[in-house]
């Protein structure tokens, strides 16, 4: 990447083609996009527009058929499987639609888990996890397991896990899809506050109007192409 360019994600001429039997499905077609530090961006479009595919490519969960993607100063298509795994661990925070919490771990242990994999000392892990859970309104619930929390609380734990290690970028995929409107709005307001107070960079995949209302930038996709931003 050009050191003078402050983009933390850069996407150049990226296409993604899936094979379904003998049919080729063009999920993304010739995408160019830059994400800068501190953005609060929503990728929006109808089902099948390519927004989740694009999010998965940025997160290194999938690979592009054509084109290049840089995250930080690393061109992710050139990384080995272990290097890509390390990039996801250290630079990218994921918030999944289905929460993806580990059911046998408490809220605190779920938040600590990424830092455990990173090798952060136990005292520091605990201190940082307790602080972020408190910041997200979960003080007193640290030792509850996921099945003892509401959907909104579980998604807050997922957000805490995503941000606690201060990744380069956080990628929420339809984070409000399984929440009622009150819980969804509260969660989005928390993420917007984190964006404004800590400069955390968020890129959402969504079709939720509440996310669009709060986004600082909206990238519209249709049939695998960016049609406006």
The tens place of each residue's pLDDT in the chain, 229 residues long, gives: 444 468 999 999 999 999 888 899 899 999 999 999 999 999 999 888 999 999 999 999 999 999 999 999 999 999 999 999 999 999 999 998 888 999 999 999 999 999 999 999 999 999 999 999 998 889 999 999 999 999 999 999 999 999 998 899 999 998 888 888 888 888 899 889 889 998 999 999 998 899 999 999 999 999 999 998 8
Within a domain: 205: yes
Within a domain: 2: no
Within a domain: 166: yes
Within a domain: 49: yes
> How many domains does one find in the chain?
1
Q: Checking phi first, is residue 131 left (phi over 0); if not, alpha (psi -120 to 50) or beta?
A: alpha
Within a domain: 195: yes
Residues 1, 173: Cα–Cα separation, whole Å: 26
Alpha helices in 45-180 (DSSP H): 51-58, 81-91, 107-118, 122-135, 151-163
Residues 222, 45: Cα–Cα separation, whole Å: 6
What range does the domain containing 89 cover? Answer: 7-228
- SS3 at position 175: coil
Residues 43, 54: Cα–Cα separation, whole Å: 9
Within a domain: 127: yes
What is the model's pTM?
A: 0.91
Q: Is 104 exposed, middle or buried (0-12, 13-18, 19+ CB in 10 A)?
A: exposed
Contact residues for 64 (Cβ-Cβ < 8 A; gap 6+): 14, 15, 16, 28, 57, 77
Within a domain: 1: no
Residues 124, 126: Cα–Cα separation, whole Å: 5
Predicted pLDDT at 48 = 87
Predicted pLDDT at 177 = 85
Nearest in space to 229 (alpha carbons), one of 51, 75, 110, 18: 51
Predicted pLDDT at 5 = 61
Residues 59, 35: Cα–Cα separation, whole Å: 13
CATH number at residue 140: 3.40.50.300
Within a domain: 200: yes
52 contacts 71 by C-beta, under 8 angstroms: no
Predicted pLDDT at 1 = 41
Which residue has 């990728």 as its token pair? Answer: 43
Contact residues for 189 (Cβ-Cβ < 8 A; gap 6+): 214
15 contacts 22 by C-beta, under 8 angstroms: no
């Amino acid at each position: 990447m050009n050191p003078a360019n402050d983009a933390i994600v850069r996407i150049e001429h990226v296409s993604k083609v899936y094979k379904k039997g003998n049919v080729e499905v063009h999920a993304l077609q010739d995408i160019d996009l830059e994400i800068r530090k501190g953005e609060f961006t929503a990728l929006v479009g109808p089902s099948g527009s390519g927004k989740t595919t694009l999010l998965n490519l940025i997160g290194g969960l999938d690979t592009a058929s054509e084109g290049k993607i840089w995250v930080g100063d690393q061109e992710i298509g050139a990384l080995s499987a272990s290097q890509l795994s390390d990039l996801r661990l250290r630079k990218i925070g994921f918030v999944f639609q289905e929460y993806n919490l580990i059911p046998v771990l408490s809220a605190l242990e779920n938040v600590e888990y990424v830092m455990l994999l990173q090798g952060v000392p136990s005292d520091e892990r605990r201190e940082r996890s307790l602080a972020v859970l408190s910041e997200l309104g979960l003080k007193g619930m640290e030792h509850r397991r996921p099945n003892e929390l509401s959907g909104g609380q579980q998604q807050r734990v997922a957000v805490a896990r995503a941000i606690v290690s201060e990744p380069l970028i956080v990628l929420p995929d339809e984070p409000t899809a399984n929440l009622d409107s009150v819980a969804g709005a509260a969660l989005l307001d928390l993420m917007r506050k984190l964006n404004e107070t800590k400069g955390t960079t968020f890129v959402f995949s969504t079709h939720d109007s509440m996310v669009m209302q709060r986004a600082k930038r909206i990238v519209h996709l249709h049939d695998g192409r960016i049609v406006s931003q």
